């Protein structure tokens, strides 16, 4: 896999392992959502659909945790070391949005 070039602060170069992990997680979530659609199309029982929606939500939350952890350990830590205090404010704003 080629290294991604950072064009500005709002991009992120990821290791091949991190990239593959995130893409695999999203692919699984995508499959779960397609399964939900099929359930609705096939007139599945509402509680069965709701349980699968809960599983998709849990998968998305897990994805967020992994991505947030990686972000804090790399981008945030590096920016703080470089004296970029605005990154902490950006992180706080992001956490507020995630906790709505």
Is the pLDDT assigned to residue 94 strictly greater than 70? yes
- Answer whether 69's CB lies under 8 Å from 14's CB: no
Q: State residue 12's pLDDT score.
A: 82
pTM: 0.81
Is residue 91 within 8 Å of residue 80, measured between CB atoms? no
For 72-86, what is the mean pLDDT? 93
Q: Supply the pLDDT for residue 9.
A: 59
Among the ranges given (11-15, 40-44, 78-82, 94-98), the one the predictor scored with the smallest mean pLDDT: 11-15
Output the pLDDT for position 60. Answer: 97
Chain segment 25-64, per-residue pLDDT in tens: 999 999 999 999 999 999 999 999 999 999 999 999 999 9
5: left (phi over 0), alpha (psi -120 to 50) or beta: beta
For the chain, helix (H) and strand (E) counts, in that order, are 4, 0
Q: Quote the radius of gyration of the chain (alpha carbons, Å).
A: 18
């Amino acid at each position: 896999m080629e290294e991604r070039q950072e064009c500005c602060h709002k991009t992120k170069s990821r290791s091949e392992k991190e990239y593959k992990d995130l893409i695999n997680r999203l692919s699984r979530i995508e499959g779960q959502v397609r399964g939900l659609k099929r359930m609705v199309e096939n007139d599945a029982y509402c509680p069965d659909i709701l349980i699968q929606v809960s599983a998709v939500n849990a998968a998305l939350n897990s994805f967020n945790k992994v991505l947030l952890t990686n972000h804090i350990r790399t981008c945030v830590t590096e920016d703080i070391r470089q004296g970029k205090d605005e990154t902490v404010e950006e992180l706080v704003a992001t956490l507020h949005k995630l906790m709505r």
